[in-house]
Amino acid sequence: MDIHPIEFRGQPALRATSTDGGAFTVSLHGAQLLSWTTAGGVERLYLSPRAVFDGVAAIRGGVPICCPQFNQRGMLPKHGFMRNLPWENRGIDATSGELTLRLRDSEATRKLWPHAFEARLQIGMAASRLRTTLTLLNIGHGPFSFAAALHTYLHVDDIAQVRLEGLQGANRWDSLRDDRHVETAATLRFDAEFDSVYAAPAKPLRLVQPSGTLEIAQSASCSETVVWNPGAVLGAKLADMPEDGYRHMLCVEAARIDEQVLLVPGAQWQGWQQLRVL
């Protein structure tokens, strides 16, 4: 894998290419994946053309890192602070061959969250496959708890023609209706706003559309899968997304949110999501 620094919409980023024609781009702001293309140049992630690239705001699309808080479930800013800070490029890991980025606590983070930590994001790419791994280490003297999610925006041709398979039988919390039930549908389809947290199934999900199928797997340490599409009504209200942006994306997120991770000094937690084109 060949890595070189680039400027992406005025902000520092890294571009990785592989011998099989695959490539990804990751922003140093938030260690946020912005693009993943497989051989032939097919884009697999959605990045809003109206996303803000000012080195401060969260970037709409790609794979934002939500940590140490998910959404507004706590006292921190929405989705925590890691997606809003510059990360350090640590280069290619000699053992795994993956690109590693790192974030450590600072005076600014300790004002929000008074803990000593080191976060690492590792991105590995192989033939038609991408794996993103988030690791959090407690390098302080006391325990802390956190939530985390890899908030992946997948690119779809048309949301009306997409189906998501593999969640039948999973416990579901529909956040729009504040309703908890077991998912009965073998296939999820999307014709309006959709926002649900599922107990993650043991087997990978399949995102099926006319142009092909994507397999979505996650580590057992990510105990939830979040599925989100804003639909036409909410989508029109999002300033950093085109009105029809909802038609071309579906978020399928590997998450650990319902039961937070308790990390004692010296311990680490790791969670990953893998995308594979079938």
7 is catalytic: no
Short-list 216, 175, 217, CA closest to 70? 175
Strand order in the sheet with 2-8: 2-8, 11-17, 23-27, 32-38, 42-43
DSSP string, 94-124: TTT--EEEEEE--HHHHHHS---EEEEEEEE
Q: Collapsing DSSP states into helix, strand and coil, what is residue 83? A: helix
Amino acid at 76: L
Peptide bond preceding 68: is omega within 30 degrees of 0, i.e. cis? Answer: yes
Per annotation, catalytic residue among 29, 79, 115, 151 = 151
Structure tokens at 53: 């690239």
Per annotation, catalytic residue among 98, 183, 224, 253 = 253
CA distance to 9, 18, 70, 103, 167, per residue, from 116 (Å)? 32, 35, 19, 11, 37
β-pairing verdict for 32-38 and 42-43? antiparallel
Q: Is 220 left (phi over 0), alpha (psi -120 to 50) or beta?
A: alpha
151 is catalytic: yes
Active-site residue list: 151, 253
